[in-house]
Amino acid sequence: MGERRLTFYAEAPEGVRVRKGAVYITRREEYTAVTRVVSVKLPVGLVDALDELIEEGFFQNRSDAVREAVRRLIVEYRVTRRRNAAPEPGVR
């Protein structure tokens, strides 16, 4: 895999909307990611279960696992929101 470089920006790069905090740019051969650090507190049992998934090879690290969990949560809520949305007038 290619070299991984991490650059810290005090302000977001052009075209990246950030409400609060700094962003990080990770450049890899196949992609560039714009990320921000989010701190969370989790019960010890959840962290232990998460670490087991990492040890079993499902994820590279905790950040990867949490990103995937958040992606799935967002998809689930978007689907729920669409189901609960009022139909457009004249459309059945």
Residues 45 and 31 in one domain: no
pLDDT, position 89: 72
Residues 44 and 68 in one domain: yes
Residues 53 and 26 in one domain: no
The chain-wide mean pLDDT, for the chain, equals: 80
Number of domains in the chain: 2
Residues 80 and 45 in one domain: yes
- For the cut 70, the answer to whether the pLDDT of residue 65 exceeds it is yes
Question: Does 73 map to a domain?
Answer: yes
- For the cut 80, the answer to whether the pLDDT of residue 56 exceeds it is yes
Residues 20 and 7 in one domain: yes
In terms of residue numbers, what domain contains 5?
1-37
Local confidence band at 41 (pLDDT 50, 70, 90 cut-offs): very high
Residues 32 and 45 in one domain: no
Rounded CA-CA distance 67/43 in Å is 18
The 3-state secondary structure of 35-90 reads ECCCCCCCCHHHHHHHHHHHHCCCCCCHHHHHHHHHHHHHHHHHHHHHHHCCCCCC
pTM confidence score: 0.64
